Amino acid sequence: MWLLDQWAERHIIDAQQKGEFDNLPGNGEPLTLDDDSHIPSELRAAYRLLKNAGCIPPELEYRKEAVALADLLHTVQPDHPQHHELQRRLALIELKLRQAGLSTDFLRGEYATKLLNKINEE
């Protein structure tokens, strides 16, 4: 063990014995660890850093925007001047999601319909 590691370990043990860790938030509760097994090991630290900073991948940002646009399109009348522009933006985002290899079925509600049919069959 390196000298720095030994020094840090000694300070941690001293702090534990003095009870300095006893009143920390989350004391006694299990840790909630993220499942990052699908992320390559060399990218895990960078992804965690971005996640903790509140940044999300562009694909997820597109998903959020697509859901918001779809909800907005349900409230706007087809003869409204912005309806065509909203449809065009949604189509562009769908294209970007498909190019990223993501499904856009969540916008159509097809999954919910299939799930309800399956539940009703049982």
The pTM score is 0.51
Burial 89-98 (b: 16+ CB within 10 A, else e): bbeebbebbe
Q: How does pLDDT run across 31-71, given as a tens digit for each residue?
A: 777 777 777 888 888 888 888 898 887 887 888 898 888 88
Residues 24, 75: Cα–Cα separation, whole Å: 47
Q: How many angstroms separate the CA atoms of 44 and 8, rounded?
A: 24
pLDDT at 89: 93
Backbone angles phi and psi of 21, in degrees to 5: -100, 0
Q: Where are the domains of the chain?
A: 56-122
Q: Return the closest-CA partner of residue 91 out of 63, 55, 66.
A: 66
Tens digit of each residue's pLDDT (9 = 90 or more) over 66-112: 888 888 888 888 888 888 899 999 999 999 988 888 888 777 766 66
